[in-house]
Amino acid sequence: MSVDPSRRSLLFGRKPAAQSPVVFRPPWAIAQFIEHCTRCNACVEACPTQIIVRGDGGFPELDFTRGECSFCGECRTACQSPALSAAQTWQQTIRISERCLAGQGVECRVCGESCDARAIRFILQPGRVAQPQLDSEACTGCGACIAPCPSQAIAMIQTGKTA
Ligand code: SF4
Ligand code: SF4
Ligand code: SF4
């Protein structure tokens, strides 16, 4: 009889392997970021919105609960290594979870009001409060909608290039 690996872990007291959390780097991070970043901290100090923090191993990562990326380029300018030299900015967008207040019948349009790119529209539906709908093509991945959400329903997700 074969035993499912996660069940086997329970049976034999071993923890299933933990999934590492997705880490978001500054917008121009190259694919081989870890190999090139010297952990000098210059991007952390340069970011005017202070969303770059020292993460695991001292490598910079973004914390969108602190604010948004304005794509000002200060981090790229400050970086003396090739770590932030990608030709294009990142590919990421947001996901709205079931924690969304509108989904629970409570009128809320905070995320839409936070989005300069107008990537979140509210669609009226019969018998329900207006529901948020994301236009992922219009979303820049700036993260401006994440911190203001009163129910922490919004998370960033990667759609392409990994940093
Ligand atoms: S582009 Fe500007 S706002 Fe965005 S992470 Fe870099 S320094 Fe911060
Ligand atoms: S400025 Fe460049 S090398 Fe320095 S920590 Fe930031 S990404 Fe790494
Ligand atoms: S991440 Fe930025 S562009 Fe995308 S929906 Fe949120 S506020 Fe709008």
Reduce the DSSP state of residue 118 to 3 states and report it: coil
pLDDT band per the 50, 70, 90 thresholds, residue 20: low
User: Is the CB of residue 26 below 6 angstroms from any atom belonging to ligand 1?
Assistant: yes
What is the 63 CA–ligand 1 centroid distance (Å)? 11
Q: What is the pLDDT of residues 104-137, one digit of tens each?
A: 999 999 999 999 999 999 999 888 999 999 999 9
What is the 79 CA–ligand 3 centroid distance (Å)? 25
Q: Answer whether 33-84 and 92-158 agree in fold.
A: yes
Q: What is the pLDDT of residues 24-38, one digit of tens each?
A: 999 999 999 999 999
Reduce the DSSP state of residue 131 to 3 states and report it: strand
Domains in the chain: boundaries: 33-84, 92-158
- 100 annotated as belonging to a binding site for a ligand: no
Give the closest residue to 156 by CA, choosing from 86, 30, 63. Answer: 63
> Which residue puts its alpha carbon closest to atom 2 of ligand 1?
72
Give the closest residue to 142 by CA, choosing from 49, 39, 41. Answer: 49
The listed CATH number (3.40.50.1220, 3.50.50.100, 3.30.70.20, 2.40.160.20) that belongs to domain 92-158? 3.30.70.20
For residue 56, pLDDT beyond 70: yes
Query: Per CATH, the architecture of 33-84 is what?
Result: 2-Layer Sandwich (3.30)
For residue 3, pLDDT beyond 50: no
